[in-house]
């Protein structure tokens, strides 16, 4: 199975890709992750360093493929996930699609491309041209990483359009959306209602996800470092989710740093481990869904105007409701103050009602 992970720049594709790769490896699969970005940092949290790119290696060998060995370009990362970085052309020159093609060509020359159960392409940014869409030519499924925001869903819609276009000539399907680090999902739900597609998972807003990238470790490795074996391989997400969400308490340290000051270090460490393990189960759930080889969909993207109207209406509705609540609270305070100062409550109530009738 070959997967291509797309999403808006900075949305968390590489963090998501690395953790999904490990989750698939923990399910017994042989996994290769290919970073398709000139920054060549896709596999950084798997290997702990920036590995040499295939393009750099080919240049050093004067593009003599016969002089390149698997160990020159394939590096083993955490949990046995193999890693390759395609690299890219110099800034402002060349095409990223050509680099992806050369990467696949070399892996085939090394008899490595077909040795893996799963190959995951981690692709930079939005799809703005055929070059950026090149990994879709080799993929069975596309996965879109987004958040509950305007820009992330605009990028997701454009990626959906590229999947539909590639599906005309390739056996490609959209496996679904992954919402990354979001406290709400109302815009995501609004979008998939208008443009039907599966939602594989929505990851909660938790600081450890962001910190894992800074620390150069996957969440699975962080869990192992914090509290020993991190994952119950037979765990069921519904079992984990059946009780109170562990993030209700554990994530507070990312929101209010003072909370840990009043608790012991042991308890704080336990909270961190619980939160990380909880998130790891989300990635395992995504892996389990992918391993069922879902039917997937060929999406029908919205036009830019339709999407703008859909999301802006939703945001405007939210802001209107928030404004009404704020005004109601303000009128209530005035009502209370007015009664103390001899002002008739009825006049304030009437003015409150007249405001919303305008």
Catalytic residues: 8, 13, 39, 126
3-state secondary structure (DSSP) of residue 19: helix
Which two structure tokens, joined as six digits, stand for 220? Answer: 């699975």
Q: Could you tell me which of 41, 130, 37 has the C-alpha nearest to residue 89?
A: 37
Annotated binding-site residue? 14: yes
Annotated binding-site residue? 54: no
Residue 167's alpha-carbon distances to 6, 41, 85, 162, 235, in angstroms, are 16, 29, 26, 8, 35
Annotated binding-site residue? 185: no
8 Å CB contact between 55 and 102: yes
| Residue whose structure tokens are 């596999």 | 43
Annotated binding-site residue? 129: yes
Which residues fall within 8 angstroms of residue 159, CB to CB, at 6 or more apart? 6, 7, 126, 127, 142, 144
- Give the Cα separation of 81 and 46 in Å (integer): 8
Annotated binding-site residue? 13: yes
- Give the Cα separation of 291 and 1 in Å (integer): 9
Instruction: Give buried/exposed letters for 229-249 (b at 16+ CB in 10 A, else e).
Output: ebbeeeeeeeebeeeeebbee
Annotated binding-site residue? 188: no
Annotated binding-site residue? 15: yes
3-state secondary structure (DSSP) of residue 37: coil
8 Å CB contact between 279 and 203: yes
Annotated binding-site residue? 181: yes
| Residue whose structure tokens are 């869903």 | 153
Annotated binding-site residue? 265: no
Annotated binding site for Mg(2+): 14
Which residues contribute to the annotated binding site for [4Fe-4S] cluster?
95, 129
Binding-site residue numbers for ATP are: 10-15, 39, 180-181
């Amino acid at each position: 199975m070959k997967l291509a992970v797309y999403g808006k720049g900075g949305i968390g594709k590489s963090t998501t890709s690395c953790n999904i790769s490990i989750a698939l490896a923990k399910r017994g699969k042989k996994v290769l992750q290919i970073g398709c970005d000139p920054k060549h940092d896709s596999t950084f949290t798997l290997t702990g360093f920036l590995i040499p790119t295939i393009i750099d290696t080919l240049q050093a060998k004067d593009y003599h493929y016969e002089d390149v060995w698997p160990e020159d370009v394939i590096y083993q990362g955490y949990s046995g996930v193999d890693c390759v970085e395609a690299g890219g052309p110099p800034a402002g020159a060349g095409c990223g699609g050509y680099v992806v093609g050369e990467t696949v060509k070399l892996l085939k020359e090394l008899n490595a491309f077909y040795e893996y159960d799963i190959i995951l392409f981690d692709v930079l940014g939005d799809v703005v041209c055929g070059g950026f869409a090149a990994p879709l030519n080799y993929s069975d499924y596309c996965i879109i990483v987004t958040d509950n925001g305007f820009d992330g869903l605009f990028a997701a819609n454009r990626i959906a359009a590229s999947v539909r276009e590639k599906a005309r000539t390739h056996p490609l399907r959209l496996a679904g959306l992954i919402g990354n680090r979001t406290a709400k999902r109302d815009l995501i739900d609004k979008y998939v209602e208008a443009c039907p597609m599966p939602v594989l998972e929505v990851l909660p807003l938790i600081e450890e996800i962001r910190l894992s990238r800074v620390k150069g470790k996957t969440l699975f490795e962080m869990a192992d470092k914090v509290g020993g074996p991190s994952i119950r391989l037979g765990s069921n997400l519904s079992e984990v989710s059946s009780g109170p969400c562990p993030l209700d308490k554990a994530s507070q340290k990312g929101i209010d740093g003072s909370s840990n000051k009043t608790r012991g270090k042991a308890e704080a460490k336990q909270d961190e481990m619980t939160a990380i393990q909880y998130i790891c189960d989300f990635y395992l759930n995504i892996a389990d869904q992918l391993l069922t080889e879902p039917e997937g969909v060929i999406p029908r993207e919205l036009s830019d105007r339709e999407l703008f109207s859909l999301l802006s209406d939703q945001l405007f509705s939210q802001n209107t409701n928030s404004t009404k609540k704020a005004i109601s609270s303000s009128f209530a305070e005035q009502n209370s103050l007015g009664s103390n100062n001899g002002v008739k409550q009825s006049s304030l109530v009437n003015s409150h009602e007249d405001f919303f009738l305008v």
